[in-house]
Amino acid sequence: MKRPLLQHENLAIALFSALGITGLWFWLTWRYGFDMADEGYYWYGAQRVLRGEVPIRDFLSYDVARYYWAAYIMKAIGDDGVAGARISASIVQVAGTFLAVYMCLVPLRQQAFVRSAFAVLSACIITVWVWPYYKAYDHAISVVIVAATLLMLTVFKPAAWIYAGICIGVAAMVGRNHGAYGAFSASVVVLILLVNGPSRRLIVTLTGFLAIGIFLGFSPTLFMMLAVDGYAGAFIESVLALIRSGTTNIGLPVPWPWSWSWSAEIKEAGILMTVVKFLFGMGFVLLLAFPLVGVLAFGYRRFNLETVRARILFASIIVAIPYAHYGFSRADAMHLAGAIFPVLIGLLVAAGAMRGVRPLVGSFAILAVSTLVLANTQVYLAALMLNKTVILANVGERSLWVYPGSFNRLQWATKNVGVQPVDGCGFLALPDMPSLYAIYRAKMPIWEIYALSPKDHEFQAREINRLESCVPAKVILSDHALDGNPEFRYSRMYPLIYEWITSRYELSEIGRTPVDADLQVYSLRR
C-alpha cells in the first residue's frame, strides 16, 4: 500500500517534537558560547536593519532574508541584544526541525510509542546539529530544499511545482549558494523525470511553473533592486566580486580520519578526544559516501521511485550532492554542520524502514555519534562532556558562559572601547570584531564589517574615504595570521588602510595586550 505524502496524524507529532526539543535545547544552551566575529556578522546586521540600513548596500552581509526576519522578531519582543538575536534564530530552527522530522515520519510503519519516540530522537539529532545557532537559517533552508525536491518528485501539478519554485527562490534570499543548490537539485529532478517520469510534455510544462515559482520566491529581492536606491548596484557588485574571487571560502585541509596517527593522538589527547576527532573526520567521508552510494543504488534499481520512502530518500541524496560543496569549501565543524542535514534526513529515513524497535536503535546510534562529533565544538557539550572551562562574561545586558580565551579578549576589547555606548565614529575594530558594535549599538565607520580576503586599491580607497569623513578616536586591530598563513594578516591584505591607520594613530599606553600578541589598540596622534 502506497503511503501518501501528507499524513495529518504525523503533523502534531512532528510539531510537538520540534517545539519541545528545540525549546528544551534553547533553555539549556542559549547562554553558552559567544563569537565576536561570525556571530556579530549576523547580530550587528540585524541591528542595523532596525536602524534603517539595508544589507549589502550599507554594510557587508549575507543575503537579506535572515536580517529582516531577525530585525522583525527583535522589534516584536523588544530586545535587539544577543538574546533577541538568538530567539530569532531559534524560531527558524523550530520550523526546520519540524519539517525534517515530518519527512522522516512519513514512511515509518510503526505506530504509538515507536512513532513518538522516533520523532523525539529525530528532533534531538536535528537540534544537536544546529550549531552555531546563527546558522539555523542555513540549516533550515537546506531542509526546505529537500522538501521542495520531494514535492517535485511526488506531485505532478502546477501548484505543487510553483510552491517548490517559491521555496528555491526564498532559499536564494537566505543565501545565494542555497539558491544555486536548490536550482541544481531541481534540475536533476527534471532530468530524471524526463527519462523516467509520467510524460515528457507534462514535465516540460511543469518546469515552466517551477520557474514562475522561483521568480515569485525571489521577487522581494527584485523589488528591492527597483525600489531601494543603490541596492541594485550593490547587489550586482557583490555577485561580480564573488565571481572575481573564484571561491566562496578560505579552504582548509580536510581532516580525513586516516590523515593522522591514532597512537600519537591517544597519547596526546586521550581516548575520548581521539574518538571525537575520528568521528569528526568520518563526517566528511559521509558527505561524499552518502550521495555516491545512494546514486549507485538507485541507478541499479533504474531510479524506481514508486514508494514515498524511496522518493524522500532520493530527494535527500540529490540535495546532499551540492551541499557537499559547502561542507568541503572550508572543512571545519561549522561547514560540516551546514552540509549534513540532507544526509541526516536520508539516514533517518533508512533507519525508519527497519521493523520493530530497530528504528529507535538506529536513530539513537545516530544521536550518540552526532553528540560525540560536536562535543569539542558546541560550548555546552564541551563543558558538559569534556569538562572544558567556561567563564561567565557580560555581553551587553546579558551574561554568557564562554571559553577563557574568548572571555579575556572580550573583556580587554570592551574595556578599551569604553563602558558607555559609543555613537558615531567612536572606534574602529578590525578585522573581525563586529560583535563589539552590536554590544554598543554603534555603527561601524566602514562598509566591510568583516575582513577575510585581500581587496584591491580601489576598494581600500573607498573605505579610507569613509574613514576620512568620520575619523574614529580609537582603532582596535588584530593583525593575526588567519589559519596560520601570514599572507592573511590584515596588514598584508589591506596595506593602504593599514598605512592610513599607522600614519594617523599611535599605539596607546596599553599597546600590545597579554591577551593576544597580535591584538593592539591605537589612539589618534596628538
Q: Tell me, yes or no, whether 475 lies in a domain.
A: yes
DSSP 4: P
Instruction: Answer yes or no: do 316 and 436 share one domain.
Output: no
Instruction: Answer yes or no: do 217 and 290 share one domain.
Output: yes
pLDDT reported for residue 193: 93
- Select from 336, 330, 337 the least CA-distant residue to 252: 330
Last residue of a domain, one of 382, 414, 444: 382
Q: Tell me, yes or no, whether 106 lies in a domain.
A: yes
Instruction: Answer yes or no: do 446 and 313 share one domain.
Output: no
Q: Tell me, yes or no, whether 393 lies in a domain.
A: no
At 308, which amino acid appears? V
Range of the domain at 114: 8-382
Total domains in the chain come to 2
Q: Tell me, yes or no, whether 46 lies in a domain.
A: yes
Using CA atoms, how far apart are residues 45 and 40, in angstroms rounded to an integer? 8
Q: Tell me, yes or no, whether 3 lies in a domain.
A: no
pLDDT reported for residue 422: 47
Instruction: Answer yes or no: do 54 and 122 share one domain.
Output: yes
Instruction: Answer yes or no: do 58 and 89 share one domain.
Output: yes
Using CA atoms, how far apart are residues 341 and 209, in angstroms rounded to an integer? 27
CA 362 to the chain's CA centroid: 27
Instruction: Give first-to-last CA distance, the chain, whole Å.
Output: 83
Instruction: Answer yes or no: do 367 and 434 share one domain.
Output: no
Q: Tell me, yes or no, whether 1 lies in a domain.
A: no
- Select from 132, 70, 41 the least CA-distant residue to 452: 41
Using CA atoms, how far apart are residues 256 and 240, in angstroms rounded to an integer? 33
Last residue of a domain, one of 382, 413, 448: 382
Instruction: Answer yes or no: do 365 and 502 share one domain.
Output: no
**Beta sheet of 474-478, edge-to-edge order:** 427-430, 474-478, 516-524, 505-513
CA angle 23, 28, 32 (to 5 degrees): 120
C-alpha cell at 460: 581600500
Instruction: Answer yes or no: do 187 and 254 share one domain.
Output: yes
Mean pLDDT by 10 residues, the chain (526 residues): 66 95 97 94 97 96 96 97 97 97 90 91 97 96 98 95 97 96 97 88 96 97 96 94 78 87 77 90 96 92 88 96 95 95 97 90 96 94 93 93 92 74 72 93 94 91 94 90 88 95 84 67 83
Instruction: Answer yes or no: do 434 and 519 share one domain.
Output: yes
Instruction: Answer yes or no: do 245 and 305 share one domain.
Output: yes
* pTM, entire model: 0.94
Instruction: Answer yes or no: do 166 and 243 share one domain.
Output: yes
Last residue of a domain, one of 327, 349, 382: 382
Instruction: Answer yes or no: do 376 and 411 share one domain.
Output: no
